[in-house]
Amino acid sequence: MKDILFATGNAGKMKEIREILEDLDGCVYSLKDAGIDADIEENGTTFAQNAKIKAEGIAAWCEKNGIPAFPEKSIRDFIVLADDSGLEVDWLNREPGVYSARYMGHDTSYREKNANIIGRLEGVPKEKRTARFVCAIAAVFPDGRCEIAEGAVEGYIGWEERGENGFGYDPIFYLYENDRSTAELSPEEKNGISHRGKALRKIKEVLRKGK
Ligand code: ITT
């Protein structure tokens, strides 16, 4: 199997991605590993569109500029993957959705973003605090074909941040089954049930079949 270039600059995502893809034959490189510093504008309206935009954008960038850390290689030696994901809160008309990373501005801390979401749900009872994490993974093959896989996990927004694991909105996203936040799960537990775990396991099958 060809090696994978995963078009993400998010270290929290990359850690989960490496754990889930570790049993693939090829190596998995991040943008940082490949020395790529490209900014692709995510102007789609769905997670699937943005994942495709990111993967195709990085493939096109490498076609033009090469791969800084691997000057002897071409982007055609890799399958380019990208993840677009986010949190949909039903009470907030599915906000922040595709704007999850940009919500309240890129540079605002997640402590503030999480406090803001909890504040906007003040007085809302548990049964109306429904939310989900959604993930779309795009795979762009050397011949230009693009395959997409999606995954989601249902839960609710809690009343306080809990847990030290994960990243982003994990401390306020709780599971109905055990009333734990996804930041309270071990990495293996989160990958087993998460939006990203589900989407990556589907794309792994596509990669294994070489489709
Ligand atoms: P890349 O585009 O470089 O991959 P990003 O952080 O900008 O990184 P997205 O545009 O896909 O990625 O934004 C997704 C945001 O949604 C992310 O920054 C988190 O805030 C949130 N998110 C996605 N998956 C999450 C998870 O598993 N746990 C907590 N928050 C998550």
Per-residue pLDDT tens listing for the chain (211 residues): 899 999 999 999 999 999 999 999 989 999 999 999 999 999 999 999 999 999 999 999 999 999 999 999 999 999 999 999 999 999 999 999 999 999 999 999 999 999 999 999 999 999 999 999 999 999 999 999 999 999 999 999 999 999 999 999 999 999 999 999 999 999 999 999 999 999 999 999 999 887 5
CB 83 within 8 A of CB 134: no
Question: How far is the centre of ligand 1, averaged over its atoms, from the C-alpha of 72 (Å)?
Answer: 32
Question: How far is the centre of ligand 1, averaged over its atoms, from the C-alpha of 130 (Å)?
Answer: 19
Domain range for 173: 3-209
| Prior bond of 187 cis (ω within 30°) | no
* Structure tokens that stand for 155 in this block: 């839960």
Please give the angle made by the CA atoms of 2, 7 and 8, to the nearest 5 degrees.
135
124 by DSSP, 3-state: which? coil
Beta bridge pairs of residue 137: 83, 149
pLDDT of the residue at 193: 98
Q: Does the pTM exceed 0.85?
A: yes
CB 124 within 8 A of CB 140: no
Nearest atom, ligand 1, residue 182 CA: 28
What CATH number has the domain bearing residue 175? 3.90.950.10
| Number of domains present in the structure of the chain | 1
Q: List, by residue number, the catalytic residues.
A: 84
